[in-house]
Amino acid sequence: MSKNKKNNGGGFVFSTDPNFRPPVDDTPDTSLPADKQVLRIWLDRVKGGKEATVVKGFVMTEDDLSDLARQLKNKCATGGNAKEGNIILQGDHRDKVLAMLLSLGYKNVKKAGG
């Protein structure tokens, strides 16, 4: 079989369990207000000794999360991405991110992880 061919099963799941419930999409439909969010800023070290700043705990739509990630990346002049309620920035930018989130109205923001 060629490596380029993909399994086209369509994601169909069959179960004989009468209590089976298919997985539910857990992305929120609306964003929580900034002052209600509980956020933690972590420093993550990945292979090669590189560091990444990870902001965890966002409860917002993917569009709002990507817009906020874009603002943080521009402020820190670095790369990164946003997915699954987390924003990941390349490098150690915990202090800049903390100051920016507090200025945007996020009240419950703390550095975590030591």
CATH classification of the domain holding 76: 3.30.780.10
Q: What is the pLDDT of residue 68?
A: 94
DSSP state of 91: B
Matching residue, tokens 């999409």: 25
| Domain presence at residue 22 | no
pLDDT at 20: 79
Q: Would you say residue 90 lies in a domain?
A: yes
User: DSSP letter at 60?
Assistant: S
Tell me, yes or no, whether 69 lies in a domain.
yes
Confidence at residue 35, expressed as pLDDT on a 0 to 100 scale: 86
Q: What is the pLDDT of residue 75?
A: 93
* Confidence category of residue 34, pLDDT binned at 50, 70, 90: confident
Q: Measure Cα distances from 26 to 1, 54, 55, 72, 97 in Å.
A: 35, 20, 19, 24, 26
Query: Which residues, at least 6 apart from 86, have a Cβ–Cβ distance to it below 8 Å?
Result: 54, 55, 56, 58
| Assigned token pair, 12 | 């169909």
pLDDT reading at 63 higher than 70: yes
Rounded CA separation 36/94 (Å): 21
pTM over 0.75: no
1 pLDDT more than 60: no
Domain boundaries, position 58: 34-111
Average pLDDT over residues 98-104: 94
- Looking at residue 13, its pLDDT comes to 64
**What's residue 109's pLDDT?**
93
Q: So what's the pLDDT on residue 12?
A: 62
Does residue 16 lie in a domain region? no
Residue 25 domain-assigned (yes or no)? no
Q: Three-state SS for 36?
A: helix
How many structural domains are present in the chain?
A: 1
Q: Which two tokens stand for residue 31?
A: 């964003």
